[in-house]
């Protein structure tokens, strides 16, 4: 094992220790447990987006649609059909993933700004459906008056409803499974095929890779994980409204990924943490919090195009 | 059975005729050079064979099957690999990773989420073997984008070889190289042709390389075939001398 592998393992260990202990130190430094859960949820969304952006080289501005579908699926199942958190999440994930799988073939042959524009367009379709179809989705007011349900494992029950800490650890467990699955895929031959497409599409094609088909697969996997994040997002505040699937939400995911560093696996997690902490802190002082986050984003992109984590890595190597 | 038969292909870009009714037959094990002045249509001709462009008319037969309408990836699956005039590699990945991807894709693992230990071992061995062939052992973990031009070229050729092609198309393999690099690449191509009996078609400007390597030469000028024959025949051809060699010598 060489030095850079060791560094990587140390960084991984540090991140997991910080995440596992967050509910304890977060309160000490003036935060609150719910903020930790929110960071994890957005981090999962941004990491899912980055599966496509950072590792396949394809920019989507419509991921909020599948995030929102996951959230609405979860909320509607618990509110109208069956009060079980796992069942509701499963429905949400399936809804988000199926929608992405169906839309994928229509956009997988597009590149660059055309791909991005079409993902926005399809995303906005779902936004308007959620906004207009009040009888089912609650329209502009969203879906409230439902609650996430404690999870019964048979031998024990995890009370995610009444304990913020229990919910945090539930979110962390889901996050860990998803992050692990993405890391596993990215280290596999399939993941390397995606890297090949990111690096040089022409060469990939002339190695015999059916590029459009692989972009479709990467898109569906990315949307699957973003819809998992959407399910957790609805559970976080027992609420979902159309803003969860509007295009500016997609923009937030992109900002988080780029801010943290889209060439790093953990970059989007760092980006989400910075974005949400800044938002939380600045918005308690001024309504114009987005101006400050925006300014910070512009500075990072201008001077550290590889994001915050890219900057740390470079410092470390030199 | 001929390996590749190009029958009367043309390619029009609007009113420009880039390739005009060119035919070519390549036998198995042959090394064919395609030469001609700039703008003669050589690269367009290559693009038609590899499927990067679709011909306006004519047919391309590979191993007795018509491949004229196939997408590039499918032609790769049939056994045609190519390199480009401007090197096409994965610049932010290492030499090892570049070769590994080519090998994995060829072995049918492009959608696999995991590899068995055996398969992984075979792939590693194959990567090592290819790197040795191209003299890149010492640079295995360097990013390809940081390597010298000649080494990037070698990496691209090795990636093409990883596809186990039955026909290798090389578009100006020595373009932009110094004498030593040109010599190294020429030796590599010669080795592939002589030792592995690989069939190769190459476009080349460096006449030393062409006359050193080629079994047969085809000369293109203004999209048309000007001449075709063995190196001595081409050297003696007056039309070729007038159009091309004469100018190069002057």
Full DSSP string of B9-43: EEEEETTEEEEEEEEEEE-TT-EEEEE-STTSSHH
Q: Which of the two residues, A286 and A53, has the higher pLDDT score?
A: A53
Residues 117-146 of B with CB under 8 A from A: none
**Chain-chain contact of A207 with B93 (C-beta, under 8 angstroms):** no
Of B109, B159, B163, the CB nearest to A189: B109
Short-list B109, B106, B162, CA closest to B131? B162
pLDDT of residue B249: 46
The residue out of B164, B184, B219 marking a domain boundary is B164
Is the domain of B182 the same as that of B234? yes
Reported confidence tier of residue A318, pLDDT bands at 50, 70, 90: low
Q: What is the mean predicted confidence (pLDDT) over B83-102?
A: 96
Q: Residues B101-125: what's their mean pLDDT?
A: 96
What is the pLDDT of chain A when averaged over all its residues?
A: 94
Residues B170 and B246 in one domain: yes
Residue B247 has pLDDT above 60, yes or no: no
| Secondary structure, 3-state, chain A | CCHHHHHHHHHHHHHHHHHHHHHHHHHHCCCCHHHHHHHHHHHHHHHHHHHHHHHHCCCCCCHHHHHHHHHHHHHHHHHHHCCCHHHHHHHHHHHHHHHHHHHHHHHCCCCHHHHHHHHHHHHHHHHHHHHHCHHHHCHHHCECCCCCCCEECCCCEECCCCCHHHHHHHHHHHHHHHHHHHHHHHCCHHHHHHHHHHHCHHHHHCCCCCHHHHHHHHHHHHHHHHHHHHHHHHHHHCCECHHHHCHHHHHHHHHHHHHHCCCCCCHHHHHHHHHHHHHHHHCCCCCCHHHHHHHHHHHHHHHCCCHHHHHHHHHHHC
What number is the average pLDDT over the span A289-303?
89
Are β-strands B57-62 and B216-221 bridged in parallel, bridged antiparallel, or unpaired? Answer: unpaired
| Interface mutation vs chain B, best among A189, A198, A202, A317, most B CBs within 10 Å | A189
Cβ separation A190–B111 shorter than 8 A: yes
Are B159 and B174 within one domain? no
| Domains in chain B, number | 2
Q: Is the pLDDT of residue B66 over 80?
A: yes
Q: What is the pLDDT of residues A66-82, one digit of tens each?
A: 999 999 999 999 999 99
Q: Examine the domain organization and report whether B245 and B170 are in the same domain.
A: yes
pLDDT value at residue A231 = 98
Average pLDDT on B17-21 reads 95
Q: How many domains does chain A have?
A: 1
Q: Is residue B100 less than 8 Å (CB to CB) from chain A?
A: yes
Per the CB < 8 A criterion, the answer to whether B55 and B11 are in contact is yes
Instruction: Tell if the CB–CB gap between B73 and A203 is shorter than 8 Å.
Output: no
In this predicted structure, what is the pLDDT of residue A1?
53
**Closest residue on chain A to B161 (Cα):** A207
Split at pLDDT 50, 70, 90, the class of A278 is very high
Of B179, B158, B184, the residue nearest B170 (C-alpha): B158
Is there a single domain that holds both residue B59 and residue B174? yes
| C-alpha count within 13 angstroms, C-beta hemisphere, residue A150 | 9
* Average pLDDT across chain B, whole number: 93
**What are A14-70's pLDDT values in tens digits?**
999 999 999 999 999 988 999 999 999 999 999 999 999 999 999 999 999 999 999
The stretch B134-139 carries a mean pLDDT of: 93
**Per-residue pLDDT tens digits for A131-188:** 999 999 999 999 999 999 999 888 888 999 999 999 999 999 999 999 999 999 999 9
Q: Let me know whether B177 and B232 are in one domain.
A: yes
Residue B157's closest CA among B125, B192, B126? B192
pLDDT above 70 (res B244) = no
**In sequence order, what are the beta bridge partners of B26?**
B4
Is residue B85 included in any domain, yes or no?
no
Does residue B10 contact residue B58 with C-beta atoms inside 8 Å? Answer: yes
Does residue B84 lie within any of the structural domains? no
Q: What is the CATH number of the domain that holds A35?
A: 1.10.3470
- Chain B environment of A195 (Cβ under 8 Å): 90, 93, 97, 101
Question: Cβ contact (<8 Å) for A200 and B91?
Answer: yes
Q: Which residues of B touch A210 (CB under 8 A)?
A: 73
Residue B71 and residue B183 in one domain: yes
User: Are B113 and A184 inside 8 Å of each other by CB?
Assistant: yes
Q: CB distance B101–A185 less than 8 Å?
A: no
Please tell me the distance in Å from B35's CA to the nearest CA on chain A. Answer: 23
| pLDDT number for residue B250 | 42
SS3 B216: strand
Domain boundary among B117, B135, B164: B164
Contact A195 B101 (CB under 8 A): yes
Interface check B181 vs A, CB under 8 A: no
Which domain does A180 fall in, by range?
Answer: 3-317
Task: Dump pLDDT digits (tens) for B151-198.
Answer: 999 999 999 999 999 999 999 999 888 899 999 999 999 999 999 999
* B112/A189 Cβ within 8 A: yes
Instruction: State which residues form the domain around B197.
Output: 1-79+165-250
Report how far residue A118's alpha carbon sits from residue B201's, in angstroms, rounded to the nearest whole number. 41
Q: What is the pLDDT at residue B242?
A: 82
ipTM: 0.92
- The residue from B142, B164, B186 where one domain ends is B164
User: Under an 8 Å CB criterion, which residues of A touch B?
Assistant: 184-185, 188-190, 192-193, 195-196, 199-200, 202-203, 205-211, 214, 217
CATH code of B171's domain: 3.40.50.300
Hey, how many other C-beta atoms are within 10 angstroms of the C-beta on A164?
14
What pTM did the predictor assign?
A: 0.93
């Amino acid at each position: 094992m060489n030095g850079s592998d060791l560094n990587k393992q140390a960084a991984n260990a540090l991140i997991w220790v910080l995440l596992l202990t967050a509910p304890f130190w977060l309160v000490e430094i003036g935060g609150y447990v719910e903020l930790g859960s929110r960071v994890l949820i957005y981090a999962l969304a941004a990491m899912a987006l980055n599966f496509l952006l950072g590792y396949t080289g394809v920019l989507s501005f419509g991921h909020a649609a599948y995030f929102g579908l996951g959230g609405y699926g979860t909320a509607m199942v618990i509110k109208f059909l069956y009060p079980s958190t796992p069942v509701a999440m499963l429905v949400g994930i399936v809804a988000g993933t199926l929608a992405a799988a169906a839309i994928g073939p229509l956009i997988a042959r597009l590149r660059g700004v055309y791909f991005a524009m079409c993902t926005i367009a399809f995303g906005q379709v779902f936004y308007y459906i959620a906004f207009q179809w009040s009888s089912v989705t609650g329209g502009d007011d969203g879906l409230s008056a439902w609650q996430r349900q404690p999870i019964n494992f048979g031998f024990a029950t995890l009370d995610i409803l009444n304990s913020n800490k229990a919910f945090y650890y539930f979110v962390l467990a889901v996050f860990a499974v998803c992050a692990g699955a993405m890391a596993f895929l990215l280290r596999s031959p399939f993941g390397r095929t995606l890297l090949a497409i990111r690096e040089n599409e022409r060469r990939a094609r002339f190695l015999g890779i059916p590029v459009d088909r692989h972009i479709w697969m990467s898109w569906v996997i990315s949307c699957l994980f973003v819809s998992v994040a959407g399910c957790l997002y609805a559970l976080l505040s027992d609420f979902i409204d159309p803003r969860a699937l509007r295009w500016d939400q997609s923009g937030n995911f992109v900002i988080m990924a780029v801010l943290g560093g889209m060439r790093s696996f953990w970059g989007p997690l760092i980006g989400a943490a910075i974005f949400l902490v800044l938002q939380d802190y600045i918005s308690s002082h001024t309504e114009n919090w987005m101006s400050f986050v925006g300014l910070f984003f512009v500075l990072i992109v201008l001077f550290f195009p590889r994001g915050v984590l890219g900057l740390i890595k470079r410092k470390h190597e030199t | 059975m001929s390996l590749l038969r190009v029958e009367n292909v043309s390619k029009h870009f609007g009113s420009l005729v880039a390739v005009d009714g060119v035919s070519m037959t390549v036998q198995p094990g042959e090394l064919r050079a395609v030469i001609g002045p700039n703008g003669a249509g050589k690269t367009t001709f290559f693009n038609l064979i590899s499927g990067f462009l679709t011909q306006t008319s004519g047919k391309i037969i590979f191993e007795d099957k018509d491949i004229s309408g196939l997408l590039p990836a499918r032609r790769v699956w049939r056994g045609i690999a190519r390199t480009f005039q401007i090197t096409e590699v994965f610049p932010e990945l290492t030499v090892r990773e570049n070769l590994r991807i080519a090998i994995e894709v060829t072995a049918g693992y492009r959608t696999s989420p995991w590899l068995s230990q055996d398969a992984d071992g075979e792939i590693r061995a194959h990567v090592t073997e290819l790197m040795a062939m191209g003299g890149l052992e010492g640079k295995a973990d360097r990013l390809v984008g940081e390597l010298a031009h000649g080494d990037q070229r070698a990496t691209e050729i090795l990636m093409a070889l990883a596809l186990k092609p039955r026909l290798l198309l090389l578009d100006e393999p020595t373009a932009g190289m110094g004498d030593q690099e040109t010599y190294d690449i020429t030796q590599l191509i010669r080795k592939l042709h002589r030792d592995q009996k690989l069939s190769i078609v190459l476009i080349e400007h460096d006449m030393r390389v062409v006359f050193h390597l080629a079994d047969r030469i085809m000369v293109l000028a203004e999209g048309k075939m000007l001449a075709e024959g063995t190196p001595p025949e081409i050297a003696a051809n007056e039309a070729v001398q007038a159009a091309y060699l004469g100018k190069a010598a002057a």
